[in-house]
Structure 1
Amino acid sequence: MVTDRLWRTLSAFNRSTRSWEPIPLRNVQSQATLRFSPTLRSIDTFWTQRFSLISWNIDAFSPRHVSRAKFILSHILEESKSPDILFLQEVTPEVRASLLDDARVRAAFLVTDAEDQTSFEDVPFATMTLLSSTRFTSGLDSQKEGDGIEGGKKFMLGRVSRVILPSKYRRDALCVDIIPPISPRTVFRLISVHLDSLRDTLHYRAQQMEILANVLREPGCSGGIIAGDFNAISPEDDGLVDKNELVDAWVALHGRDLDGATWGVGVERRDGIGPGRLDKVAMMGLQAKEMEVLRPGTIEVPRPGEKPVEIPWSDHCGLRCTFTI
């Protein structure tokens, strides 16, 4: 089981690019047998913060991937309430460049993997996390703007990491630690995932979920959220969240009877596979309040000598989840 963690740098973007102090390389050994003991540190019982999260697999392989990603981003930022936290999966290097060049992103978000393409090397795509600068602040921001942890309103960003997972496809999990403004010794963890694909990798997904659940149980972590493309394509996959004693936000809010499918929605597949709830949000120590599926629009793809064909922005729907800490 590969459990090393590679610490990365998170860069803050506004009208002029800036970055905060780099985080040193560290190796942290996960404890697969650790059992969770709640250790919330001196937080007022009546203190709560409400956050909105959107997670979307933007589909790296269909035509016009950069244009489709731009439509998804515009839909997220302009046609609906802009989220506090945005998890993106299947981000290609070209899409990464497009995101970093977008004025709306530069003005309003802290963005992972902004300084280099290390996480995008030798893989077809990777994950990225965007955090609203109205809700989160980096160390450098707080020094310049006087918005430190003590007495401030924003959550401070802690360590940023990629957890290297056992994987057929070199998948990892992108983790960002956040620290409440009233409790500088308390850490919650945001984890964006794209678990292994296809039916023959169920054993990898089972290992991946166990590792990530224990990342939320590590000493000093008071809980957090795991969200993204779980590639939950089999009945066995559906049991992995419960098996690892996490809360499936969709099930908690809607029960198991309401569909919630995020993949194969509104299309007929030749292989006969129907829609599935491949994308999920799992929690520990947080409370889900609202959740909905975000359907993609369509984009025209030109075809030489033929009429253009319309395809969805992505083969996945997005998920919007509101939760409280």
Structure 2
Amino acid sequence: MAEWLYEAGIGEARAALVDHGRIVEMAIEREDGALRAGTLIEAKLVRKADATGRGLVSFAGGEALLSPVPAGLTEGARLMIEIVREAIREPGNVKLPKARAAAPGALPSPGPDLKARIAATGVPVTSLLPHQPDRLEEAGWSEAIEEAASGIVASPAAMLRIFATPAMTLIDVDGTSKAETLACAGAAMAGAAIRRFDIGGSIGIDLPTLSSKAERQAAAAALDEVLPQPFERTAVNGFGFLQIIRRRMRPSLIELIGQDRATAEALALLRRAERARGAGRRTLVAAPPVIARIERAPGWIDQLAVRIGAGIGLRTDPALAISAGHVETDHIQA
């Protein structure tokens, strides 16, 4: 039976939908102050619609793109807006949140947090605690995080390379099997990865070139079997390319983890420190960017110290890979 595993970690909340012992969906919600999708907030129209048809609104703490701009609304006017897509970080840039005018009479309210979102699916939710068995790890959490960070998903049947670009997410399918076999396996793996990493917006899948219509239809059917609706897609064209459009409300895990690896590894190290066996002071040892990220958020260390009831130390080791952080404990329990 499927269930959501939920963990309220330091700096982020985590959730995984586990079915038959494996993760089929996962989500991370950072404590970064960004407005969540579904938030209702009062804003001021700063700029009416430009050539893209989107206006610009400002509110306490930030700005958002507004579409459509209500007819007759003048610059400087105030209105209630609903956040429909959260801000998305890109290399060297941050895409502003997207918003729409809220329904008449709407009052300010925060959007649902991660725990509320997974509870709304109707699937049972189990909250995990650090002293309990690590069911996220048992289901393959760290392996899935590494896939999201590297953009590489490999199996004996095929290998995917996933690239998040400003225009779309691209998935390249590679392997050594016959084209029709590889296309079906790769399409199924791509559909599973799209679901697992919550990839939305425009998605392109580059499959091997297929010579017949029947082979192209079989590859598309393999994707349809593993990727739940709603989504729209094209047929597989003669060059093996398939495009998908899914609703996009927040960054995918490919974007969240892959484009800020230091933060992802810092939070993962704090998670390991919470679960480290032993007693006494914990020392977190990691590559310099990871330790620097933790030092920029002193509240994380304070929370960790309270949760485990012990002092915390930090030590950089330039020889370590960014993902090779570990925790040293003064007194190891047998």
- TM-score computed with the length of structure 2 as normaliser: 0.27
Higher-Rg structure is 2
- TM-score computed with the length of structure 1 as normaliser: 0.27
